[in-house]
Chains A and B, each alone.
Chain A
Amino acid sequence: MKDFWRNFSRNRGAVVGLVVLLAVLILAVLAPVLYPGSPWDMAGMPFAPPGEDGMLLGTDSLGRDVAAGIAHGARVSLLVGAVSTVAALAIGVSLGAIAGYLGGIADDLVMRFTEFFQTIPSFVLAILLVAIFTPSIASIVFAIAVVSWPPVARVVRAEFLSLRSREFVQASEVLGKSRLSIVIGDILPNALSPIVVLSSLMVASAILLESALSFLGLGDPNMMSWGFLIGSGRSVIRMAWWMSVFPGVAIFLTVLSLNLVGEGLSDALNPRLARNRGGKP
């Protein structure tokens, strides 16, 4: 653990990312305390610029507080990012494990199935799924999970392919352990580090996907998210720049910090790789 932290903190960008990410998390947790009441409430006069009318970041076309929207939106955006990533991991890890451990026909079938999903442009598929199932938080999480599992499946398969022929796996097989317990107890823990790195990046891309969907008006109409804030401010951007800019900054910072943390995790979990890359102290 000490090693891990040392390796992680060697990457300064990752530390900055972690701090920003923690700040966003705290904002999300404290949103109901900082801004009690609904972010949809029309709290002030419409189109108040930042700082005026007691609004830190201004108000939107209905007089809703942009800062309250960003704080409450952080909850929705992070929640969607986390839940859809967990769902995508569940699909991707199981299929990747089956393909990589069993090999042969099972591998072929699963990989063709995965490629089928990879050939469809993921954003278009997500739009289609949300449009079919009508926009709601559940359909959005489902759509994001469906379009983001294939890379997980491929990474897990590759890990399993190389791990299943190692001696410790063979030893477990000789000991008569069941396949399931070998997969879960022996191989998976050793394949965890690339999965952890990948999932931090997936959270970032899930937040972006949700924002893009909300921007296009395919968000849950009853949930305030960052993409919704930008989408609703887009048309009046010449009149009220603050409506789009601040939520945009929030998305930018969060996604950037997730990427930095992902890189830091990758360095920390593969210290040799990081050192070989050189350059970094």
Chain B
Amino acid sequence: MAFSRRGLLAAAAAAPLLMRVEDALAQGIQPKRGGTLNSIVNPEPPVLHVGVNNQAPTLIVGGKIFQGLLRYDAKLNPMPELAKRWEVSPDGLEYTFHLQENVKFHDGQPMTADDVVFSIMKFHMEVSPRARGVFARIKEGVAVNPTTAKFTLSAPFEPFLLMFDVTVSAIVPKHLFDGQDYRQAPAVSKPIGTGPFRFVEWQRGNFIRLERFADYWKPGQPYLDAIIYRVVPDSQSRRLALESGQVQLTQSNDIEPFDVPQMRARPNLEVRTEGWEYFGPLMWMEFNHRVKPLDDVRVRRALTMAVNRDFIAQRLWFGIGKPATGPFHSATRFYDGTAKSAAFNVEEAKKLLDAAGLKPNGQGVRFAIKHMSLPYGEVFTRLGEFLRQSFRQVGVELQLESVDVGTWAQRTAAWEFDTTINYLYQYGDPTLGVERSYVSTNIKKILFSNVAGYSNPKVDELFTQGRDSADPKVRQTAFSAVQKILVEEAPLLWLLEMSFPSIYDKKLQNVITSGSGIHACFDDVFLA
């Protein structure tokens, strides 16, 4: 395929894209038109319209139909997508986005700044609670001209630029939604976006078919003719489909961690665990600070020392993910590698528990607490058993409770647990995804709030400082300080920086090229 002169100019700002194509050329692999990519989606999404639904399956399929203004590399630097460049005023209040030319929706209508303003100010404000939390800070959003949109904030908000990925704020067509109930509009069941693939057919329980959009704004792209997502509910069938070559790509939870080592051993398959940096999922053990003796910092530190996090990453998750070092995922901005939670050390842990006045009884038990296993499958059951044995070594008895998903969610939200396992996305920035688990203003009877009940005025203050400052240096100082306090106080027991394996046929090129990995629009993916 040859780049036209105009195509090169249009992509001039999209340096990373050019570099990738050149990389491919350097490896002697010429992008090739044609071919159908078969993949898997599991579980079957309820709808395909991102925004209306933000569960992983919807985002993965919808990410091919829709696009955001920006995308992000693995270090979370913004890269052009529908916006070819952007400016931030020195006071951090005005954000101006200059859009790509000749962008069309799948129904043939042109995409303009009006659609951008509508998507941000109305659509996502209405349908997405997470976007609303940030976009409510926009004082004014205007379409300066058809290719320029400007947003003015009421106060500086430094992580604002992280909010324009397709998984957060996809650009939707104003003419199909304005004046209607956004959740019920016909365009929800027949999604129309600007992405390289348009929605064609969905046989419920069977497959979703997307086809190449001929009027896509990057000339000559996308390379693939079609993408078919098959619905395969059984994990062993998914594995067989991948092994037999019926599908060329699996992602997210499609392949169980314990099957991954064998997939790695297959010569025709590539296993990648990058591409989750934008989400930064961090897993921890939740301590209920209202339960004695978990309110004692010495006890929480001792329990932290009792657990070998390397074993969890290597043996339970088979190397998919990394041991957590503290409250921040290492890909999250302002992560401070010098603030590390207490290292694995059984003897120190015993001394700390002695110091806390918790002496072992005749059976060597200092105290007993309950542990509600996270009912997300077998590996989490093993994790519960592993934690029980780890704690037993320091004389703490962990009694396991098995619950179903609904009970887990209800009891966690209602603070009815001693300890449990939880994992949350950090969305690249501490203000967007870390703060909610530690500040006392977020101690609520809601899932994914500060259900542990940890409260420290200093921590509250530092998170507020980091949130309100427009200066990355000030934010770094505040967040470094907060990480140091948190690793000392161990309000939670951080276990694993999670990741999910993307496994694909080696013929498939350019699959993982950004910090949101498999959610990318795939306009540069091709079958060599």
Chain A residue numbers with a CB within 8 Å of B261 are: 239
| A-contact 0/1 string along B266-282, CB 8 Å cutoff | 00000000000000000
User: Does any Cβ of A come within 8 Å of B290's Cβ?
Assistant: no
Q: Report whether A62 and B381 are in contact in the complex, using a CB–CB cutoff of 8 Å.
A: no
Q: Report whether B315 and A40 are in contact in the complex, using a CB–CB cutoff of 8 Å.
A: no
CB distance from B373 to the nearest CB of A (A): 7
Q: Report whether A38 and B402 are in contact in the complex, using a CB–CB cutoff of 8 Å.
A: no
User: Does any Cβ of A come within 8 Å of B234's Cβ?
Assistant: no
Interface residues of B in 402-416 (CB under 8 A from A): 402-404
B262, B378, B399: the one contacting A239 at CB < 8 Å is B262
User: Does any Cβ of B come within 8 Å of A22's Cβ?
Assistant: no
User: Does any Cβ of B come within 8 Å of A114's Cβ?
Assistant: no
Chain A residue numbers with a CB within 8 Å of B402 are: 134-135, 217-218, 221
Q: How big is the A interface, by class?
A: 20 to 34
| B-contact 0/1 string along A41-73, CB 8 Å cutoff | 110001000000000000001110000000000
Chain B residue numbers with a CB within 8 Å of A63 are: 315
User: Does any Cβ of B come within 8 Å of A222's Cβ?
Assistant: yes
User: Does any Cβ of A come within 8 Å of B488's Cβ?
Assistant: no
| A-contact 0/1 string along B366-405, CB 8 Å cutoff | 0000000100001001101110110010000001111110
Chain B residue numbers with a CB within 8 Å of A131 are: 404
Chain A residue numbers with a CB within 8 Å of B86 are: none
Q: Report whether A41 and B389 are in contact in the complex, using a CB–CB cutoff of 8 Å.
A: yes
Chain A residue numbers with a CB within 8 Å of B182 are: none
Query: What is the CA–CA distance of A274 and B482 in the complex, to the nearest angstrom?
Result: 81
Query: What is the CA–CA distance of A241 and B389 in the complex, to the nearest angstrom?
Result: 24
Chain B residue numbers with a CB within 8 Å of A134 are: 401-403
Q: Report whether A235 and B385 are in contact in the complex, using a CB–CB cutoff of 8 Å.
A: no
Q: How big is the B interface, by class?
A: 20 to 34
CB distance from B466 to the nearest CB of A (A): 39
Of the listed residues B256, B388, B402, B403, the one surrounded by the most CB atoms of chain A closer than 10 A to its CB is B402
User: Does any Cβ of B come within 8 Å of A102's Cβ?
Assistant: no
Interface residues of B in 312-367 (CB under 8 A from A): 315-316
Query: What is the CA–CA distance of A46 and B389 in the complex, to the nearest angstrom?
Result: 14
Q: Report whether A62 and B392 are in contact in the complex, using a CB–CB cutoff of 8 Å.
A: no
Chain A residue numbers with a CB within 8 Å of B448 are: none
CB distance from A269 to the nearest CB of B (A): 42
Interface residues of A in 208-258 (CB under 8 A from B): 217-218, 221-222, 232, 235-236, 238-239
User: Does any Cβ of A come within 8 Å of B258's Cβ?
Assistant: yes
Q: Report whether B389 and A40 are in contact in the complex, using a CB–CB cutoff of 8 Å.
A: yes
Query: What is the CA–CA distance of A236 and B258 in the complex, to the nearest angstrom?
Result: 7
Chain B residue at minimal CB-CB distance from A238? B262
Q: Report whether A217 and B389 are in contact in the complex, using a CB–CB cutoff of 8 Å.
A: no
Chain A residue at minimal CB-CB distance from B386? A62
Q: Report whether A222 and B400 are in contact in the complex, using a CB–CB cutoff of 8 Å.
A: yes
Q: Report whether A239 and B403 are in contact in the complex, using a CB–CB cutoff of 8 Å.
A: no
| A-contact 0/1 string along B22-36, CB 8 Å cutoff | 000000000000000
Chain B residue at minimal CB-CB distance from A38? B392
CB distance from A219 to the nearest CB of B (A): 8
CB within 8 Å for A62 and B382 given contacts A41-B389, A221-B401, A221-B402: yes
Query: What is the CA–CA distance of A165 and B500 in the complex, to the nearest angstrom?
Result: 73
| B-contact 0/1 string along A107-131, CB 8 Å cutoff | 0000000000000000000000001
Query: What is the CA–CA distance of A238 and B403 in the complex, to the nearest angstrom?
Result: 28
Chain A residue numbers with a CB within 8 Å of B404 are: 131
Query: What is the CA–CA distance of A238 and B464 in the complex, to the nearest angstrom?
Result: 51
Chain A residue numbers with a CB within 8 Å of B381 are: 217, 221, 232
CB distance from B153 to the nearest CB of A (A): 49
Query: What is the CA–CA distance of A218 and B258 in the complex, to the nearest angstrom?
Result: 21
Chain A residue numbers with a CB within 8 Å of B316 are: 61-62
Q: Report whether A40 and B258 are in contact in the complex, using a CB–CB cutoff of 8 Å.
A: no
Interface residues of B in 187-239 (CB under 8 A from A): none
CB distance from A32 to the nearest CB of B (A): 14
Q: Report whether B385 and A62 are in contact in the complex, using a CB–CB cutoff of 8 Å.
A: yes
CB distance from B138 to the nearest CB of A (A): 47
Q: Report whether A42 and B378 are in contact in the complex, using a CB–CB cutoff of 8 Å.
A: no
CB distance from A231 to the nearest CB of B (A): 8
Q: Report whether B382 and A232 are in contact in the complex, using a CB–CB cutoff of 8 Å.
A: yes
A38, A46, A221, A235: the one contacting B384 at CB < 8 Å is A221
Q: Report whether A222 and B399 are in contact in the complex, using a CB–CB cutoff of 8 Å.
A: yes
Interface residues of B in 453-511 (CB under 8 A from A): none
Query: What is the CA–CA distance of A63 and B337 in the complex, to the nearest angstrom?
Result: 31
Chain B residue numbers with a CB within 8 Å of A40 are: 385, 388-389, 392
Chain B residue at minimal CB-CB distance from A236? B258
Chain A residue numbers with a CB within 8 Å of B256 are: 235
A38, A221, A235: the one contacting B258 at CB < 8 Å is A235
Chain B residue numbers with a CB within 8 Å of A239 are: 258, 261-262
CB distance from B260 to the nearest CB of A (A): 11
Chain B residue at minimal CB-CB distance from A60? B382
Chain B residue numbers with a CB within 8 Å of A42 are: 386, 389
CB within 8 Å for A221 and B400 given contacts A232-B378, A239-B258: yes
CB distance from A85 to the nearest CB of B (A): 25
CB distance from A59 to the nearest CB of B (A): 11
CB distance from B53 to the nearest CB of A (A): 29
Query: What is the CA–CA distance of A18 and B403 in the complex, to the nearest angstrom?
Result: 39
Chain B residue numbers with a CB within 8 Å of A232 are: 378, 381-382
Chain A residue numbers with a CB within 8 Å of B392 are: 38, 40
Interface residues of A in 129-161 (CB under 8 A from B): 131, 134-135
Chain B residue numbers with a CB within 8 Å of A62 are: 315-316, 382, 385-386, 389
User: 7 tightest A-B contacts by CB?
Assistant: A221-B400, A135-B402, A236-B258, A235-B258, A221-B402, A46-B315, A40-B389
B residues contacting A by CB (< 8 A) are 256, 258, 261-262, 315-316, 373, 378, 381-382, 384-386, 388-389, 392, 399-404
20 examples of A-B residue contacts, CB within 8 angstroms? A38-B389, A40-B385, A40-B392, A42-B386, A46-B315, A61-B315, A61-B316, A62-B386, A62-B389, A134-B401, A134-B403, A135-B402, A217-B378, A218-B402, A221-B385, A221-B400, A221-B402, A235-B258, A239-B258, A239-B262
**Known A221-B384, A232-B381; 16 more pairs at CB < 8 Å:** A40-B385, A40-B392, A41-B389, A46-B315, A61-B258, A61-B315, A62-B316, A62-B382, A62-B386, A134-B401, A134-B402, A217-B402, A218-B402, A221-B401, A232-B382, A236-B258
